Amino acid sequence: MVSDPVAAIDWRQRAAEITIDEGIFVGGEHRAAINSTTKVLRSARDGSKLVDLAWAQAADADAAVVAARNAFDHGSWPQLHPRDLGRILQDFASLIEQHRHEVDLGTAHRVSRALRVGTVRVSCYEEGNMAVPFGGVRLSGFGRDKSRHALEEYTYFKTRWIRYA
């Protein structure tokens, strides 16, 4: 019988050890929200204040997208050897797996509702099915070429009727 790893965690001890960054992380640094908006994050247990959390607005999301695009197009990422890229992504996946018990499902559901298309995976990176497209739109369209739905994008029908007589 497999024991429940979540039930085995001393959550009060974990909560006492957690530190919460106050800023948002954009362009490789923690910073305040563009308009300095914050929200008080309170403990669900007793209502005590945990932190004044930077509260991102649309302009912050736009700045994050620009920073990510710049890093991807002009930073060190596109210059790395594919083996190094793979190692970084594997290390990132390992960190996600290592901290899966810290995932806030509410955030995952809010992110999922905000997406036009795509896939949100929570603690299950390798889950999926080749029959289901998962990609995005515009520059983030990678992955839409999976499944029978891709036929609509890549197939053009042409019919020729020829009589040999």
Q: Are residues 68 and 92 in the same domain?
A: no
The H-assigned helical ranges of 3-157 are 11-17, 58-74, 82-98, 105-114, 151-154
Strand partners, 98: none
Q: Looking at residue 16, what is its pLDDT?
A: 75
Name which of 2, 40, 47, 1 is nearest 22 in CA terms: 40
Domain count, the chain: 2
The predicted structure's pLDDT at residue 87: 93
Residue where a domain stops, chosen among 57, 79, 101: 79
Distance CA 38, CA 51 (A): 9
Q: What is the pLDDT of residues 14-31, one digit of tens each?
A: 777 877 777 888 888 888
**Domain limit, last residue, from 79, 104, 130:** 79
Q: What is the pLDDT of residues 106-152, one digit of tens each?
A: 777 777 777 766 677 776 766 766 666 666 565 555 555 566 666 66
pLDDT value for 84: 93
More reliable by pLDDT, 56 or 148: 56
Q: Per-residue pLDDT tens for 62-94?
A: 999 999 899 888 888 888 999 998 999 999 888
Chain-centroid distance, C-alpha 77: 18
Cα dist from 76 to 31, 59, 89, 160, whole Å: 22, 25, 14, 51
Last residue of a domain, one of 47, 79, 111: 79
Lowest-confidence region among 29-38, 92-101, 144-153: 144-153
DSSP 3-state assignment of 53?
strand
74 and 17: one domain? yes
pTM > 0.85: yes or no: no
- The total number of residues shown for the chain amounts to 165
Separation CA 95–CA 90 (nearest Å): 9
Query: Residue 138's domain spans which residues?
Result: 82-165
Assess whether 53 and 93 both reside in one domain: no
Mark whether 86 and 75 lie in a shared domain: no
Q: What is the pLDDT of residue 148?
A: 65
**Which tokens hold the place of 97?**
């797996």
* Averaged pLDDT, 35-39: 89
**151: helix, strand or coil:** helix
Contact indicator for 37, 43 with CB cutoff of 8 Å: no
Q: 161 or 66, which is more confident?
A: 66
| Same-domain status, 86 and 164 | yes
